[in-house]
Amino acid sequence: MARELRAGKVHFAELITQEMGKPVVEAAAEIEKCAVTCDYYAKMAPSFLADEEIPANGAYSGVAFDPLGVVIAIMPWNYPFWQFFRFAAPALAAGNGAILKHASNVPGCAVEIEALMARAGCPDGLMRSLLIGSGAVAELIADDRIAAVTLTGSTEVGSIVAGQAGKALKKQVLELGGSDPFIVLADADLEAAAKTAVTARFINVGQSCVNAKRFIIEEAAADRFTDLFCEGVAALKVGDPMERDTQIGPMARANLRDELHEQVERSIAEGAVAALGGRPIEGDGCYYAPTVLTGVTPKMTAFREELFGPVASIIRARDATHAVELANDSDFGLGAAVWTSDLDRAREMSRAIDAGAVFINGMVASDARLPFGGIKKSGYGRELGSYGIREFTNMKTIWIGPKAE
Protein backbone atom coordinates (compact mmCIF):
# COMPACT_ATOMS: atom_id res chain seq x y z
CA MET A 1 0.00 0.00 0.00
CA ALA A 2 2.81 2.41 0.87
CA ARG A 3 4.56 1.69 -2.40
CA GLU A 4 1.44 2.34 -4.47
CA LEU A 5 0.69 5.54 -2.56
CA ARG A 6 4.14 6.93 -3.29
CA ALA A 7 4.07 5.82 -6.92
CA GLY A 8 0.84 7.72 -7.52
CA LYS A 9 1.53 10.67 -5.21
CA VAL A 10 1.39 13.40 -7.87
CA HIS A 11 -1.81 12.06 -9.42
CA PHE A 12 -3.52 11.47 -6.07
CA ALA A 13 -2.57 14.91 -4.78
CA GLU A 14 -3.95 16.63 -7.86
CA LEU A 15 -7.16 14.62 -7.59
CA ILE A 16 -7.62 15.62 -3.94
CA THR A 17 -7.13 19.29 -4.84
CA GLN A 18 -9.54 19.09 -7.78
CA GLU A 19 -12.27 17.47 -5.68
CA MET A 20 -12.08 19.34 -2.36
CA GLY A 21 -9.78 22.30 -2.91
CA LYS A 22 -6.85 22.01 -0.51
CA PRO A 23 -3.47 23.34 -1.70
CA VAL A 24 -1.75 20.68 -3.77
CA VAL A 25 1.42 20.78 -1.63
CA GLU A 26 -0.66 19.86 1.41
CA ALA A 27 -2.40 17.14 -0.60
CA ALA A 28 0.96 15.59 -1.50
CA ALA A 29 1.95 15.67 2.17
CA GLU A 30 -1.31 13.87 2.98
CA ILE A 31 -0.39 11.03 0.62
CA GLU A 32 3.10 10.72 2.13
CA LYS A 33 1.58 10.56 5.62
CA CYS A 34 -0.62 7.68 4.48
CA ALA A 35 2.44 5.87 3.13
CA VAL A 36 4.40 6.42 6.36
CA THR A 37 1.50 4.97 8.35
CA CYS A 38 1.35 1.90 6.11
CA ASP A 39 5.10 1.42 6.56
CA TYR A 40 4.65 1.67 10.31
CA TYR A 41 1.99 -1.02 10.56
CA ALA A 42 3.79 -3.29 8.12
CA LYS A 43 6.64 -3.26 10.64
CA MET A 44 4.78 -3.12 13.95
CA ALA A 45 1.56 -5.10 13.45
CA PRO A 46 3.08 -8.50 14.35
CA SER A 47 4.25 -7.26 17.74
CA PHE A 48 1.03 -5.31 18.41
CA LEU A 49 -1.08 -8.39 17.65
CA ALA A 50 1.09 -10.99 19.35
CA ASP A 51 -0.55 -13.06 22.07
CA GLU A 52 -0.01 -11.62 25.55
CA GLU A 53 0.58 -14.01 28.43
CA ILE A 54 -1.00 -12.86 31.70
CA PRO A 55 -0.12 -15.07 34.70
CA ALA A 56 -3.19 -16.26 36.60
CA ASN A 57 -4.26 -19.52 38.18
CA GLY A 58 -3.92 -21.79 35.15
CA ALA A 59 -1.09 -23.51 33.34
CA TYR A 60 -1.42 -20.72 30.77
CA SER A 61 -3.57 -17.63 30.58
CA GLY A 62 -3.43 -14.72 28.20
CA VAL A 63 -5.07 -12.68 25.48
CA ALA A 64 -5.23 -13.22 21.73
CA PHE A 65 -6.28 -10.52 19.25
CA ASP A 66 -8.60 -11.87 16.56
CA PRO A 67 -10.17 -9.81 13.77
CA LEU A 68 -13.84 -8.83 14.06
CA GLY A 69 -14.73 -9.08 10.37
CA VAL A 70 -15.86 -6.44 7.88
CA VAL A 71 -15.79 -2.83 9.09
CA ILE A 72 -17.73 -0.08 7.33
CA ALA A 73 -15.72 3.14 7.20
CA ILE A 74 -17.79 6.31 6.79
CA MET A 75 -15.25 8.93 5.82
CA PRO A 76 -15.22 12.72 5.23
CA TRP A 77 -13.91 14.88 2.42
CA ASN A 78 -11.37 17.01 4.29
CA TYR A 79 -8.56 14.41 4.21
CA PRO A 80 -9.96 12.00 1.62
CA PHE A 81 -6.97 9.63 1.57
CA TRP A 82 -5.60 10.05 5.09
CA GLN A 83 -8.86 9.40 6.90
CA PHE A 84 -9.26 6.07 5.14
CA PHE A 85 -5.67 4.85 5.45
CA ARG A 86 -5.50 5.95 9.09
CA PHE A 87 -8.23 3.37 9.66
CA ALA A 88 -7.34 0.82 6.99
CA ALA A 89 -3.64 0.28 7.66
CA PRO A 90 -4.19 -1.04 11.21
CA ALA A 91 -7.61 -2.60 10.58
CA LEU A 92 -6.52 -4.65 7.57
CA ALA A 93 -3.24 -5.57 9.24
CA ALA A 94 -5.35 -7.00 12.07
CA GLY A 95 -7.18 -9.22 9.59
CA ASN A 96 -10.40 -7.28 8.99
CA GLY A 97 -12.11 -6.35 5.75
CA ALA A 98 -13.26 -2.83 4.85
CA ILE A 99 -16.13 -1.15 3.05
CA LEU A 100 -15.55 2.53 2.31
CA LYS A 101 -18.54 4.88 2.18
CA HIS A 102 -16.84 8.12 1.23
CA ALA A 103 -18.17 11.68 1.19
CA SER A 104 -20.22 12.43 -1.91
CA ASN A 105 -17.94 15.24 -3.11
CA VAL A 106 -14.81 13.04 -3.37
CA PRO A 107 -16.01 10.09 -5.52
CA GLY A 108 -12.81 10.09 -7.58
CA CYS A 109 -10.74 9.57 -4.44
CA ALA A 110 -13.00 6.69 -3.38
CA VAL A 111 -12.56 4.96 -6.76
CA GLU A 112 -8.79 5.53 -6.79
CA ILE A 113 -8.41 4.13 -3.27
CA GLU A 114 -10.09 0.87 -4.27
CA ALA A 115 -7.93 0.58 -7.41
CA LEU A 116 -4.79 1.33 -5.39
CA MET A 117 -5.67 -1.40 -2.89
CA ALA A 118 -6.12 -3.91 -5.71
CA ARG A 119 -2.73 -3.02 -7.20
CA ALA A 120 -1.17 -3.43 -3.76
CA GLY A 121 -2.35 -7.04 -3.67
CA CYS A 122 -5.48 -6.77 -1.56
CA PRO A 123 -7.49 -9.98 -2.09
CA ASP A 124 -10.56 -9.47 -4.24
CA GLY A 125 -13.51 -8.39 -2.14
CA LEU A 126 -11.56 -7.61 1.02
CA MET A 127 -11.97 -3.86 0.42
CA ARG A 128 -14.68 -2.10 -1.58
CA SER A 129 -15.70 1.52 -2.17
CA LEU A 130 -19.46 2.03 -2.38
CA LEU A 131 -20.65 5.16 -4.20
CA ILE A 132 -23.86 5.51 -2.24
CA GLY A 133 -25.75 8.29 -0.52
CA SER A 134 -26.02 8.73 3.23
CA GLY A 135 -29.56 7.35 3.16
CA ALA A 136 -28.22 3.87 2.44
CA VAL A 137 -25.87 3.73 5.43
CA ALA A 138 -28.36 2.58 8.07
CA GLU A 139 -29.22 -0.56 6.10
CA LEU A 140 -25.52 -1.37 5.71
CA ILE A 141 -24.84 -0.95 9.41
CA ALA A 142 -27.75 -3.26 10.25
CA ASP A 143 -26.53 -5.97 7.84
CA ASP A 144 -25.29 -9.04 9.70
CA ARG A 145 -22.21 -9.18 7.47
CA ILE A 146 -20.96 -5.89 8.95
CA ALA A 147 -19.09 -6.40 12.23
CA ALA A 148 -18.20 -2.83 13.19
CA VAL A 149 -18.37 0.82 12.20
CA THR A 150 -15.86 3.66 12.09
CA LEU A 151 -16.80 7.25 11.35
CA THR A 152 -14.88 10.47 11.01
CA GLY A 153 -17.23 13.42 10.65
CA SER A 154 -19.41 15.92 12.40
CA THR A 155 -20.82 15.47 15.88
CA GLU A 156 -24.35 15.57 14.46
CA VAL A 157 -23.69 12.75 11.99
CA GLY A 158 -21.77 10.84 14.65
CA SER A 159 -24.81 10.86 16.92
CA ILE A 160 -26.97 9.40 14.15
CA VAL A 161 -24.46 6.69 13.22
CA ALA A 162 -23.85 5.82 16.88
CA GLY A 163 -27.58 5.30 17.31
CA GLN A 164 -27.76 3.04 14.27
CA ALA A 165 -24.71 1.03 15.31
CA GLY A 166 -25.90 0.83 18.91
CA LYS A 167 -29.27 -0.53 17.83
CA ALA A 168 -27.45 -3.23 15.87
CA LEU A 169 -24.98 -3.81 18.74
CA LYS A 170 -21.98 -3.10 16.53
CA LYS A 171 -18.60 -1.87 17.77
CA GLN A 172 -17.94 1.79 16.89
CA VAL A 173 -15.03 4.20 16.74
CA LEU A 174 -16.10 7.82 16.29
CA GLU A 175 -13.78 10.76 15.58
CA LEU A 176 -16.01 13.81 15.51
CA GLY A 177 -15.90 17.60 15.76
CA GLY A 178 -13.49 19.71 17.72
CA SER A 179 -12.94 23.24 18.96
CA ASP A 180 -9.37 22.78 20.08
CA PRO A 181 -7.86 25.30 22.52
CA PHE A 182 -4.39 26.70 21.87
CA ILE A 183 -3.22 28.13 25.21
CA VAL A 184 -0.36 30.63 25.31
CA LEU A 185 0.96 31.75 28.70
CA ALA A 186 2.92 34.94 29.26
CA ASP A 187 6.25 33.12 29.70
CA ALA A 188 6.01 31.35 26.33
CA ASP A 189 8.19 31.99 23.29
CA LEU A 190 5.59 34.24 21.68
CA GLU A 191 7.24 34.39 18.26
CA ALA A 192 7.38 30.60 17.99
CA ALA A 193 3.87 30.23 19.40
CA ALA A 194 2.38 32.73 16.96
CA LYS A 195 4.15 31.20 13.96
CA THR A 196 2.96 27.71 14.87
CA ALA A 197 -0.53 29.04 15.62
CA VAL A 198 -0.93 30.27 12.04
CA THR A 199 -0.23 26.78 10.70
CA ALA A 200 -2.30 25.10 13.41
CA ARG A 201 -5.36 27.12 12.44
CA PHE A 202 -5.07 27.58 8.69
CA ILE A 203 -3.68 24.28 7.41
CA ASN A 204 -6.20 22.61 5.08
CA VAL A 205 -7.95 26.01 4.88
CA GLY A 206 -8.98 25.51 8.51
CA GLN A 207 -11.15 22.52 7.62
CA SER A 208 -10.04 19.94 10.14
CA CYS A 209 -11.49 18.63 13.38
CA VAL A 210 -8.08 18.90 15.02
CA ASN A 211 -7.23 22.43 13.83
CA ALA A 212 -6.58 24.84 16.68
CA LYS A 213 -9.66 27.06 16.81
CA ARG A 214 -9.78 28.88 20.15
CA PHE A 215 -6.59 30.80 20.95
CA ILE A 216 -6.62 31.37 24.71
CA ILE A 217 -3.92 33.89 25.57
CA GLU A 218 -2.83 35.01 29.03
CA GLU A 219 -3.66 38.71 29.45
CA ALA A 220 -0.05 39.84 29.86
CA ALA A 221 0.87 38.36 26.45
CA ALA A 222 -2.37 38.90 24.55
CA ASP A 223 -1.54 42.14 22.74
CA ARG A 224 1.89 40.98 21.57
CA PHE A 225 0.65 37.54 20.52
CA THR A 226 -2.28 39.04 18.62
CA ASP A 227 0.02 41.39 16.70
CA LEU A 228 2.40 38.56 15.77
CA PHE A 229 -0.43 36.22 14.87
CA CYS A 230 -2.21 38.78 12.68
CA GLU A 231 1.07 39.52 10.88
CA GLY A 232 1.42 35.84 10.05
CA VAL A 233 -2.19 35.45 8.94
CA ALA A 234 -2.03 38.58 6.75
CA ALA A 235 1.01 37.11 4.97
CA LEU A 236 -0.79 33.90 3.92
CA LYS A 237 -1.10 33.61 0.16
CA VAL A 238 -4.64 33.00 -1.06
CA GLY A 239 -4.90 31.63 -4.57
CA ASP A 240 -5.20 28.74 -7.00
CA PRO A 241 -4.70 25.55 -4.96
CA MET A 242 -2.86 23.93 -7.88
CA GLU A 243 -0.09 26.54 -7.54
CA ARG A 244 2.68 25.31 -5.27
CA ASP A 245 3.06 28.57 -3.35
CA THR A 246 -0.64 28.85 -2.46
CA GLN A 247 -1.33 28.46 1.26
CA ILE A 248 -5.08 29.15 1.33
CA GLY A 249 -7.27 27.61 -1.34
CA PRO A 250 -11.06 27.56 -1.61
CA MET A 251 -13.33 25.91 0.90
CA ALA A 252 -14.75 22.58 -0.18
CA ARG A 253 -18.33 23.67 -0.89
CA ALA A 254 -20.34 26.87 -1.18
CA ASN A 255 -22.75 25.88 1.59
CA LEU A 256 -19.85 25.38 4.00
CA ARG A 257 -18.56 28.87 3.24
CA ASP A 258 -22.03 30.31 3.74
CA GLU A 259 -22.42 28.56 7.10
CA LEU A 260 -19.01 29.81 8.23
CA HIS A 261 -19.81 33.40 7.25
CA GLU A 262 -23.11 33.23 9.11
CA GLN A 263 -21.23 32.14 12.25
CA VAL A 264 -18.76 35.00 11.84
CA GLU A 265 -21.56 37.52 11.41
CA ARG A 266 -23.32 36.24 14.51
CA SER A 267 -20.09 36.48 16.50
CA ILE A 268 -19.52 40.07 15.40
CA ALA A 269 -23.11 40.95 16.28
CA GLU A 270 -22.40 39.46 19.74
CA GLY A 271 -19.39 41.74 20.24
CA ALA A 272 -16.39 40.09 18.54
CA VAL A 273 -14.16 42.24 16.32
CA ALA A 274 -12.82 41.14 12.94
CA ALA A 275 -9.18 42.20 13.20
CA LEU A 276 -8.63 40.59 9.79
CA GLY A 277 -10.96 39.26 7.12
CA GLY A 278 -14.50 38.43 8.12
CA ARG A 279 -15.94 38.06 4.64
CA PRO A 280 -16.14 35.80 1.59
CA ILE A 281 -13.79 36.65 -1.27
CA GLU A 282 -15.61 37.65 -4.44
CA GLY A 283 -15.01 35.75 -7.67
CA ASP A 284 -14.75 32.13 -8.74
CA GLY A 285 -14.36 29.47 -6.09
CA CYS A 286 -15.57 29.17 -2.51
CA TYR A 287 -12.90 31.39 -0.99
CA TYR A 288 -13.13 32.94 2.46
CA ALA A 289 -10.68 35.58 3.65
CA PRO A 290 -8.36 34.36 6.44
CA THR A 291 -10.04 35.83 9.50
CA VAL A 292 -9.00 36.70 13.05
CA LEU A 293 -11.72 37.50 15.59
CA THR A 294 -10.65 39.29 18.76
CA GLY A 295 -12.58 40.04 21.92
CA VAL A 296 -14.22 36.61 21.82
CA THR A 297 -15.91 35.51 25.06
CA PRO A 298 -17.52 32.21 26.14
CA LYS A 299 -21.04 33.41 25.32
CA MET A 300 -20.25 34.03 21.65
CA THR A 301 -20.85 31.78 18.65
CA ALA A 302 -17.13 31.73 17.82
CA PHE A 303 -16.42 30.22 21.23
CA ARG A 304 -19.35 27.83 21.60
CA GLU A 305 -19.53 26.38 18.06
CA GLU A 306 -16.96 24.72 15.84
CA LEU A 307 -15.92 27.11 13.04
CA PHE A 308 -14.87 24.78 10.23
CA GLY A 309 -12.88 27.10 8.00
CA PRO A 310 -10.18 29.82 7.98
CA VAL A 311 -11.34 31.72 11.08
CA ALA A 312 -9.40 32.06 14.36
CA SER A 313 -10.86 33.25 17.67
CA ILE A 314 -8.69 35.01 20.26
CA ILE A 315 -9.80 34.82 23.89
CA ARG A 316 -8.04 36.49 26.83
CA ALA A 317 -7.37 34.59 30.06
CA ARG A 318 -6.48 36.10 33.45
CA ASP A 319 -3.92 33.40 34.24
CA ALA A 320 -3.10 29.72 33.67
CA THR A 321 -5.96 28.49 35.85
CA HIS A 322 -8.46 30.62 33.96
CA ALA A 323 -6.99 29.41 30.66
CA VAL A 324 -7.71 25.79 31.58
CA GLU A 325 -11.24 26.73 32.66
CA LEU A 326 -11.83 28.39 29.29
CA ALA A 327 -10.33 25.42 27.44
CA ASN A 328 -12.67 23.00 29.22
CA ASP A 329 -15.74 25.22 28.74
CA SER A 330 -16.66 23.36 25.56
CA ASP A 331 -18.74 20.43 24.38
CA PHE A 332 -15.67 19.14 22.54
CA GLY A 333 -12.54 17.37 23.70
CA LEU A 334 -10.31 16.37 20.80
CA GLY A 335 -6.91 18.06 21.09
CA ALA A 336 -5.28 20.96 22.94
CA ALA A 337 -1.97 22.82 22.91
CA VAL A 338 -0.17 24.59 25.76
CA TRP A 339 2.70 27.02 25.26
CA THR A 340 4.89 27.92 28.25
CA SER A 341 8.53 27.77 29.32
CA ASP A 342 7.51 26.11 32.61
CA LEU A 343 7.30 22.45 31.61
CA ASP A 344 6.32 21.24 35.08
CA ARG A 345 3.34 23.57 35.04
CA ALA A 346 2.53 22.48 31.49
CA ARG A 347 2.41 18.83 32.57
CA GLU A 348 0.05 19.70 35.41
CA MET A 349 -2.16 21.66 33.01
CA SER A 350 -2.18 18.80 30.51
CA ARG A 351 -3.74 16.50 33.12
CA ALA A 352 -6.45 19.08 33.87
CA ILE A 353 -7.45 19.73 30.25
CA ASP A 354 -10.38 17.76 28.82
CA ALA A 355 -8.90 16.39 25.59
CA GLY A 356 -7.78 13.21 23.91
CA ALA A 357 -4.34 14.75 23.31
CA VAL A 358 -2.37 17.67 24.73
CA PHE A 359 0.70 18.97 22.91
CA ILE A 360 3.12 21.19 24.85
CA ASN A 361 5.00 23.84 22.87
CA GLY A 362 3.84 22.33 19.61
CA MET A 363 0.90 21.87 17.29
CA VAL A 364 -1.60 19.05 17.71
CA ALA A 365 -1.18 16.47 14.96
CA SER A 366 -1.87 12.78 14.45
CA ASP A 367 1.08 10.40 14.38
CA ALA A 368 0.97 6.70 13.51
CA ARG A 369 2.90 5.89 16.68
CA LEU A 370 0.47 7.59 19.08
CA PRO A 371 -3.22 6.96 19.82
CA PHE A 372 -5.58 9.56 18.37
CA GLY A 373 -9.16 10.34 19.36
CA GLY A 374 -11.34 12.46 21.59
CA ILE A 375 -13.72 12.64 24.52
CA LYS A 376 -17.04 14.41 25.17
CA LYS A 377 -18.76 15.29 21.87
CA SER A 378 -15.52 14.73 19.95
CA GLY A 379 -16.22 11.00 19.98
CA TYR A 380 -14.77 7.85 21.50
CA GLY A 381 -12.38 5.05 20.67
CA ARG A 382 -8.84 5.46 19.39
CA GLU A 383 -7.06 5.22 16.08
CA LEU A 384 -3.32 4.72 15.45
CA GLY A 385 -0.60 3.33 17.67
CA SER A 386 -0.96 -0.06 19.33
CA TYR A 387 -4.31 1.03 20.78
CA GLY A 388 -5.81 1.76 17.36
CA ILE A 389 -4.95 -1.59 15.81
CA ARG A 390 -6.68 -3.39 18.68
CA GLU A 391 -9.94 -1.40 18.44
CA PHE A 392 -11.25 -3.74 15.75
CA THR A 393 -10.12 -6.98 17.34
CA ASN A 394 -11.74 -9.46 19.67
CA MET A 395 -9.50 -9.37 22.73
CA LYS A 396 -9.98 -13.02 23.52
CA THR A 397 -9.00 -14.49 26.88
CA ILE A 398 -7.48 -17.98 26.64
CA TRP A 399 -7.00 -20.07 29.77
CA ILE A 400 -5.47 -23.53 30.04
CA GLY A 401 -5.59 -25.54 33.20
CA PRO A 402 -5.05 -26.99 35.62
CA LYS A 403 -1.97 -25.24 36.88
CA ALA A 404 0.94 -27.61 37.50
CA GLU A 405 1.75 -28.24 41.16
Residues labelled as active-site residues: 175, 209
Question: What is the rounded distance in angstroms from the CA atom of residue 36 to the CA atom of residue 71?
Answer: 22
Question: What is the rounded distance in angstroms from the CA atom of residue 112 to the CA atom of residue 106?
Answer: 10
Is the sign of the CA dihedral 37, 118, 127, 156 positive or negative?
positive
Task: Write down the H helix ranges in 130-244.
Answer: 137-142, 155-167, 190-202, 219-234
Q: Give the residue from 186, 217, 214 showing the smallest Cα distance to 200.
A: 214
- Do 246 and 238 touch, CB atoms closer than 8 A? yes
- Do 294 and 273 touch, CB atoms closer than 8 A? yes
Question: What is the rounded distance in angstroms from the CA atom of residue 17 to the CA atom of residue 32?
Answer: 15
Question: What is the rounded distance in angstroms from the CA atom of residue 377 to the CA atom of residue 263?
Answer: 20
Question: What is the rounded distance in angstroms from the CA atom of residue 67 to the CA atom of residue 91?
Answer: 8
Task: Write down the H helix ranges in 179-290.
Answer: 190-202, 219-234, 254-269
8-state DSSP, 122: P
Q: How many alpha carbons fall within 13 Å on the CB side of residue 381?
A: 21
